[in-house]
Structure 1
Amino acid sequence: MPRYLKKATPKTFADSAQHDVSDRVRSIIDDIRARGETAVREYSATFDRWEPDSFRLSDARIAELVDSLPRQVIDDIAFVQEQVRNFALAQRASLTDVEVETLPGVRLGHRHVPIEAVGAYIPGGKYPLTASAHMTIVTAKAAGVPRVVACTPPIRGEIPAATVAAMKMAGADEIYLLGGVQAVASMAVGTDFMAPVNLIAGPGNAYVAEAKRQLYGEVGIDLFAGPTEILVIADETADPFTTAVDLLSQAEHGPDSPAVLVTTSEALADEVARLIDRILPGMPTKDFAEPAWRDHGQIIVCDDMDELWRVGDSLASEHVQVFTADPRQALDRMRNYGALFLGENTCVSYGDKVIGTNHVLPTLGAARYTGGLWVGKYLKTVTYQEVLNDDSSADLGRVCGRAARVELFEGHARSGDVRAWRHGGEQFAWIEEVVGEGQPA
């Protein structure tokens, strides 16, 4: 039975349902629907102290911002985006169109069609998350999305040049300095200065997440995002210092970010706890990491490897690092996770920033039923049907008529009857009443 050396109550979606947030977001969205750009400008001024002549950045202004950055920053953005793009293109290549002949002359198929317009939200509150531009925009363009609208807020009244550069280099077609609920609502419902999009992707704070939740259905979304999570699964071979550092690397996202260690080694667990207590006081981001570890950190010791895998899988964590003698066992032993990071040579921070997989991932247990953002999220898999053979159409018409009448759908049945009459010589009283006896010409 697992033993908790440090225990916390797991966070759930119910924890994120804050009525004050929900009510405030609803009122902002309703106001933007009613008053359009005027309302957007008022909220931007109130929340971000940002009242430009135009929220959209011109090509010339974008070029100035890109040119203002050190060459190394541009080179690093280009490197990371190449990794994201290459993996997204490989994913896209795995999605092939299908056409099969199921009966003589009956063709069924599907095609993967890019969504026409996508909105990418790039956060900018506590941190300027340039990496979110790579994950949302590069991946959308790899899917073939023709129009990508990108929004990011100003930071303390200033334009985040590196974020704008990342958005431009990623392939954004329109870039707006606009944040929060007002950005999400503008993308979803449209305003005088922005045509609406069909899907919105990207992380954000509780208000942004709630706006996406309320607008879902009117537009698509990538997923409902909660606080960042990390789970480290480790046996006695794991390095305690690396483990402690990696747990805190994700705790710094915010004071409500869970960091969990599940291990078969009590000695490792004790040493990790000791090291975390030593590292935390000197962390520049301890204001977030310290309460996250204090309130949401867990250390769980398991009796054996079977229990280790069961407990780890039951947590359905967003990020799972595997520090065991054979980390690739996780590929067979686990099903519920947003992303796996196998072995001590990799870490969640690589996934967040540089390695090429997408960092927009399910949280709060959603990994039980979904993966994260990927190129397929920007595609609609749509089907088509074609019947070229008259005999097959007549056969399907006969079955359709019988099946539809079982369900009392007479109109459906009659569509089948027409094909059975036209191509198969069947006689139907209702057809004779309309067109007379005999066969069609």
Structure 2
Amino acid sequence: MSFVLKAAVGEPAQRASNPAVVDTVAAVIADVRANGDEAVRKYSEKFDGWSPESFRLSEDRVADIVKSVPETVLDDLRFAQRQIRDFAQAQRDSIQDLEVETLPGVFLGHRNVPIDAAAAYVPGGRYPLTASAHMTVLTAKVAGVDRVAATTPPNAGEPPQISVAAMHLAGADEIFVLGGVQAVAALALGTETIDPVSILTGPGNAYVAEAKRQLFGEVGIDLFAGPTETLIVADHLADPFTIAVDLLSQAEHGPDSPCVLITTSESVGRAVIDHIEALLPGLVTNAIAGPAWRDHGQIHVVDTLDEAYRLADVFASEHVQILTEDPRQALTSMRNYGALFLGEGTCVPYGDKLIGTNHVLPTLGAARYTGGLWVGKFLKTLTYQEVRDLGSSAKLGEVCGRLSRLEKFEGHARSGDLRAAKFGNAPLPWGDLPTRVTSER
């Protein structure tokens, strides 16, 4: 019989933002919209104590910062970016332009055209998410985006060296040291010194996420962000210690991060609880991971793996790790997840940092209707049509006229009527075809 071994006791995250956050973000965006650079500088001074002569780093300054980073760190960044670039390139290569002839001389097609300019927000502060530079900047460049503007908050009054190096190595065309709502608004709207972009990407705090939500429509965004989520499906053969370690690896993202285990074994579930209680006191990030596990940790015991997969689909978690005898079964048994991590050799932090897939993934149940960030997000699939055979145009015109009048669109109907008359000798009851006049040279 299925039952809950550990339930969440905290309130789940909501899609609606805190009203105070909404109001603060709206005020900052309105100020940046009206006052441009002046407002950006004001909020940067207020929130970050940061007001350099220029928020954009010069090429010489970027080069100096990169030189200051230890070569071993640069090598690790290059290794991670090589994995991400290779997978993104494989994805891009799989996306093909299309043209088909649907009727004689009627050609329909689509082209995949890169967005012209993208912004990549790389979070800073206590936990700078350097990997976000790989996931946003690099993926956009592989897609063919001409201009990628990357931005990150200052760290203790200085540009964060590793983040700047990561953005540079990923191929950022412009690098700004600017954080918060003021950065997102400046890049979305444009100022006297910052050109606007067409899409905002990258994670951030509640204020950054709300800014992206409010600006969506004027610009595109990657995803509506919520707390990091992880879910593990495990059978009776799974190692409880590994499960415990892997759940805590994601719990440290934030005190509101859900971490869920669905298992077919009660003994595995109870052992996981014991291991987590033993591991938490020695975890440096216990102040964050502890509340996440206490308030948002769950363990569900189910009778079969089929039931486990069905329940996992209900959660539609951002990260889903499969620790079962046959992990690839999840590929056909599940459909609602941000990313799957199959088998004990694959942990979620690999996806977070370096394995090659993108770590910008859907949360708050959005995996029911979308996947994560990938090269396709930076492409516009644009359709076109051409009718070369005028007989086909006449046929289309006849049907277009009839269908348009069903919907009371007389102007549409007449465009179709005209082709039917001009190219097929159909009557034109509402007018006469003018005689074509040819000029002589």
Q: Which residue of structure 1 lines up, in the alignment, with residue 364 of structure 2?
A: 364
Q: Which residue of structure 2 lines up, in the alignment, with residue 138 of structure 1?
A: 138
Q: Which residue of structure 2 lines up, in the alignment, with residue 91 of structure 1?
A: 91
Matches within 5 A, 1:29-428: 29-428=29-428
8 Å contact 2:12–2:296 — kept in the other structure? no
Counterpart of 2:223, as a letter, is L
Deviation at 1:429, TM superposition (A): 2.4
Deviation at 1:12, TM superposition (A): 5.6
**1 CA distance for matches of 2:8 and 2:15?**
14
Once the two structures are superposed, what CA deviation does each residue of 1:362-402 show, in whole Å capped at 9, x if it has no partner?
A: 00111011000000000000000000001001111111111
8 Å contact 2:253–2:288 — kept in the other structure? yes
Counterpart of 1:17, as a letter, is S
- Match of 1:23, SS state, is helix
**2 CA distance for matches of 1:414 and 1:189?**
41
The answer for unaligned runs of 5 or more in structure 1 is none
The answer for unaligned runs of 5 or more in structure 2 is none
Once the two structures are superposed, what CA deviation does each residue of 1:313-362 show, in whole Å capped at 9, x if it has no partner?
A: 11100000100000000001100000000000010000001100000000
Once the two structures are superposed, what CA deviation does each residue of 1:401-426 show, in whole Å capped at 9, x if it has no partner?
A: 11101111111111111111111111
- Match of 1:241, SS state, is helix
8 Å contact 1:422–1:439 — kept in the other structure? no
**Please, what is the CA RMSD of the aligned residues?**
1.4
- Match of 1:197, SS state, is coil
**1 CA distance for matches of 2:225 and 2:402?**
47
**2 CA distance for matches of 1:150 and 1:426?**
58
8 Å contact 1:97–1:109 — kept in the other structure? yes
Deviation at 1:440, TM superposition (A): 9.1
**2 CA distance for matches of 1:209 and 1:401?**
47
**2 CA distance for matches of 1:2 and 1:185?**
48
8 Å contact 1:78–1:169 — kept in the other structure? yes
**2 CA distance for matches of 1:409 and 1:2?**
58
**1 CA distance for matches of 2:387 and 2:9?**
57
Deviation at 1:158, TM superposition (A): 2.1
Once the two structures are superposed, what CA deviation does each residue of 1:48-95 show, in whole Å capped at 9, x if it has no partner?
A: 110100000000000010000111100011111010000000000111
8 Å contact 2:37–2:193 — kept in the other structure? yes
Count of residues in correspondence between the two structures: 438
**2 CA distance for matches of 1:224 and 1:9?**
25
**2 CA distance for matches of 1:11 and 1:149?**
37
Ranges of 4+ aligned residues in structure 1 off by more than 4 Å: 9-13, 438-441
Q: In 2 relative to 1, CA 440–3 (structure 1 residues): closer, same or farther, beyond 3 Å? A: farther
**2 CA distance for matches of 1:232 and 1:215?**
34
- Match of 1:430, SS state, is coil
**2 CA distance for matches of 1:429 and 1:302?**
71
8 Å contact 1:22–1:210 — kept in the other structure? yes
**2 CA distance for matches of 1:15 and 1:416?**
46
**2 CA distance for matches of 1:181 and 1:367?**
26
Counterpart of 1:26, as a letter, is A
- Match of 1:246, SS state, is helix
8 Å contact 2:10–2:295 — kept in the other structure? no
Counterpart of 2:96, as a letter, is T
